[in-house]
Structure 1
């Protein structure tokens, strides 16, 4: 039976975002104009555009939901206890993944580049050759986990302070009124447009200033929206506006891209500066609009229970850790066939999905220690999902409700948002 007070939609959105990651990485061997660990001889512009679309909201949505879960976890924990738990569920899986999950990806890439040794011979080199790409030691897709832990570590004291505040704050009530919710995106839009030209994406944490702050602001926004649920209610109320902005800006950006009308990279005068920075701002506006629309529609239509949700929650984080290594191994052999790109892609998606679930179900889920190092609990007991208790408050808005998200002592969201 469905409990209407539970935030099921967060879990459905997390599962959908992780599936989008699977679709994205499975398309990388076939996407034109993009380097990846394994590439097909023939590439496709359609897969390039498919991944361009997924990139508008894929990682912003995961960071946004992760910020929401930071609030849910901090309600019943001190900042210190929160950081300790995050170390256990983020750093330990990150180290485990870098030692035992990611190396097979680098090995398959080196085989593709001409390396002729065996896996054990290669494995020794991850400790002697230095960081990837020049060396063989890397976190690859697990960069997300590293960034998330740093965000948790930096913001835990501030988040705990905000968590203890009263929900009925005048500034929050004003932000949730009308279309003011879109003000949350303005700092990110300005920062992205100003910095992305000078700080390209690296995923190495140290020299990734633009993207590190960009993702951070989605994380903070997710925390605030679910700390003050009147903001989440505003996203639901404005979901059609958000979707309209997302679609309009996405097609406008693509119109410029497809017709070679993108502003020149060099800035020579005020006009070129305005067009260049304005164009870059559109990318951030599109991302925020998609995230706001997805949260709004999810809150409206996906807050429903299904018997599979508990299993999906448990599987989500290990699946995320595993999926890219599985994709790279299978892709190494798939790209050597003579089949069409579409058939290769479908085969790669299905076999990677089935294989990742197979590994989780048969080897990770039953083994307490392995499950622990993949971000789970030593005891495999299902947890309740977070509850959203409705509290009627006077926030100065006619007919409005404030909602407070409350978790019982044994309540948490399992999976990638709580665990990484």
Structure 2
């Protein structure tokens, strides 16, 4: 709600000004934020109920409510071993939803695709047998990832086949296979090379959610301010990335992380709860 009501309206306002759809001040425009539903760039509706880039958090919240009864009744099986054949079978539901299901497309995938991955994460990614298996198959999944990616990029660059065409079905299936194989590669490499911690990783782990929440408003605002400046694109890019990074980190370090109420708004635990989690034999 904080993102929808506070972080999103300035971005919609800047879009309207940039497209010549509004010429007044932000505060005069704000009541118009509730005029119609925002569906696409340059459209007529303003109210972005998904929070623009924060749609991912809304999807996770909905998924959590939907799957909670299932997760309560059925716990992940620890004893059952997984075999390479299981990984192949697991690609089938991903291909099916990628090819045949069209509910809501967000971030390049239908929402049903994310739900399948969400379920896989709960039932599979915590299993010791799954970890050991993806480690053994790492060389093969790396090769598969690159091959499927090259195939998909070639199909994309040469023009996406028309919908319901045999080629489009093949390309959608390859896209799903590429996603799944890359997830296995990333999981295996991270589990093998990144299973450690230090003060920088702990700091980055806490900062990751606030960084995600605030990155787009900062980038869009800076981009809006320098859009008409007579600089080259490369200079604008370096300026935008550098200044945005320091603004986001500075805002996190000096404001978000230090004020309990602000911490909660940006997805962090309150300081009291964080201290309790670090105490032994204390249950929250």
User: TM (normalized to structure 1)?
Assistant: 0.60
Matched, 1:244 2:143: yes
Indicate which of 91, 94, 97 corresponds to 1:188.
Answer: 94
Q: Which residue pairs with 1:216 in the alignment?
A: 115
Matched, 1:123 2:15: no
Report the alpha carbon displacement of residue 105 of structure 1 after superposing the two structures with TM: 0.8
Q: Which residue pairs with 1:142 in the alignment?
A: 54
Contact 1:179–1:238, Cα closer than 8 Å, also in 2:
no
Report the alpha carbon displacement of residue 200 of structure 1 after superposing the two structures with TM: 6.1
Q: Which residue pairs with 1:40 in the alignment?
A: none
Report the alpha carbon displacement of residue 290 of structure 1 after superposing the two structures with TM: 1.1
Q: Which residue pairs with 1:103 in the alignment?
A: 9
Cα RMSD of the aligned pairs, angstroms, is 2.6
Report the alpha carbon displacement of residue 382 of structure 1 after superposing the two structures with TM: 5.7
Q: Give the Cα separation in 2 of the matches to 1:188 and 1:384.
A: 37
1:195-241 CA-to-partner distances (Å, cap 9, x unmatched) read: 35xx56257xxxx9x71111111111111223423112222222222
Indicate which of 363, 368, 377 corresponds to 2:260.
Answer: 368
Higher helix share: 2
Contact 1:181–1:231, Cα closer than 8 Å, also in 2:
no
Q: Give the Cα separation in 2 of the matches to 1:107 and 1:317.
A: 24
Structure 2 segments unaligned to the other structure (5+ residues): none
Q: Give the Cα separation in 2 of the matches to 1:216 and 1:232.
A: 21
Which SS does the other structure have where 1:135 is aligned?
Answer: coil
Moved more, 322-331 or 103-112: 103-112
Contact 2:101–2:112, Cα closer than 8 Å, also in 1:
no
Q: Give the Cα separation in 2 of the matches to 1:256 and 1:124.
A: 45
Matched, 1:354 2:246: yes
- Within 5 Å, which residues of 2 pair with 1:32-181? 95-114=1-20, 115-127=22-34, 129-132=35-38, 133-138=43-48, 139-163=51-75, 166-169=77-80, 173=81, 176-181=82-87
Structure 1 segments unaligned to the other structure (5+ residues): 1-94, 386-407, 412-420
User: TM (normalized to structure 2)?
Assistant: 0.87
Number of residue-to-residue matches in the alignment: 275
Contact 1:105–1:328, Cα closer than 8 Å, also in 2:
yes
Indicate which of 198, 201, 214 corresponds to 2:105.
Answer: 201
Contact 2:104–2:111, Cα closer than 8 Å, also in 1:
no
Report the alpha carbon displacement of residue 179 of structure 1 after superposing the two structures with TM: 4.8
- Closer, same or farther: CA 202–238 of 1 in aligned 2, 3 Å: closer
Q: Give the Cα separation in 2 of the matches to 1:366 and 1:266.
A: 51
Q: Give the Cα separation in 2 of the matches to 1:285 and 1:300.
A: 23
Report the alpha carbon displacement of residue 258 of structure 1 after superposing the two structures with TM: 3.2
Report the alpha carbon displacement of residue 146 of structure 1 after superposing the two structures with TM: 0.6
